[in-house]
Amino acid sequence: MNTKLDNFSEISKLLSVKSKMRSDILSLFSKFGLGRMLCRLSLEKHDGISAVQL
């Protein structure tokens, strides 16, 4: 039971770090207008949210 809780704790920490990193990246996109730049360069979106939405 302890092992399962430890694994859950590790997964929770990992998701928290990923969420923070995503938030920081979105903040940079908004701050520097990277979404509009990428749109003008007509780069393709493969995964995640559209850069134009930022």
Residue 28: its pLDDT value, please? 87
Residues 6 or more apart whose Cβ sits within 8 Å of residue 29: 35, 51, 54
List the chain domain ranges.
Answer: 2-53
Residue 1: is its pLDDT beyond 70?
no
Mind listing the pLDDT tens digit for each residue in 6-46?
Answer: 788 888 888 888 888 989 988 888 888 887 877 777 656 56
More confident position, 51 or 19: 19
Distance of CA 28 to the CA centre of its chain: 11
Whole-structure pTM value: 0.51
CA 15 – CA 33 distance, rounded (Å): 26
